[in-house]
Amino acid sequence: MPAPSPTFSSLPETPMCEKTEVNDTDSLPPWAKITLTSAEAEIEKLISRNELKDAEVTYFCQVEPILQDGPQCGLVALSMASQEYTKPVSVNQLLAEARVRGFTQHGEVYSVDFMGTLAAEYLPDHKPDILVDLQQCPDTLTHALAHGAMVLIPYDSDFNHAPCLKKGHKAHWALLVGLISSRQGYHVLARHGKSRHLACWPLRDLIESNGNLEEEGTARHAGGYVIPKGGVGGQKGLRGRALALHPYI
């Protein structure tokens, strides 16, 4: 019996460019400036490895890694984000719901809107906010992170899982859990379903990768994937878009 046609919830979008002075400590919430302890030794190693000068961690949220089984990277990222919720949701729960709603066949999620609908259903402690036009308005992403949101973002994953440019053929989801400012610019701290280790990437590389998502890869799962109307690069797809999860306080 075929799955019902996808439906879209009326989630807010954030298309406007707002200039945000993330280094202005007076405008940031209390958790935006933290002092690293021994528990954050992995972050210190990443800062050293990337040779970030005058690095300042302006936001970090600790979530435990979850490894994906098959093309479930988006659902895994959302499940990791749900650890901040009073009742975390499992990948299997999200997969079952996504199939019922017609969002996926095998665990793949090729729409930020699909992900936003699932977040609204299963993370009532967080307000989902679709960020758009990231290439023109990168400040919307840094603003969200600096003010306590986690961000689900699609990008092309290279052999080492870092952002690359493959036109969407290596599309992958990451959960952004931290923001570092330094002389070299902004870097993000990320979790994703293909590694137990925290990742650290230049924000500009991630946004460029996000902006090149045009089509699904040719090596598709038997039975095909669910692609939103307009395609991967369309208005309901992945290109230039991300999902911020703002905590209700």
Q: Which residues are catalytic?
A: 73
Which token pair is 128? 């989902």
84: helix, coil or strand? helix
Collapse the DSSP code of 38 into the 3-class scheme (helix H, G, I; strand E, B; otherwise coil) and give the result. Answer: helix
Q: What residues contact residue 92 under an 8 Å CB cut-off, 6+ apart?
A: none
Tokens of 20: 């945000």
Residue 97: DSSP 8-state? H
Backbone angles phi, psi at 218, to 5 degrees: -80, -25
* Tokens linked to 193: 């379903």
Q: Please list the alpha-helical segments (H only) found in the chain.
A: 41-49, 73-81, 91-100, 112-122, 139-146, 203-210
The DSSP output letter for 117 is H
Instruction: Determine the Cα–Cα distance for residues 134 and 155; give it in Å rounded to an integer.
Output: 12
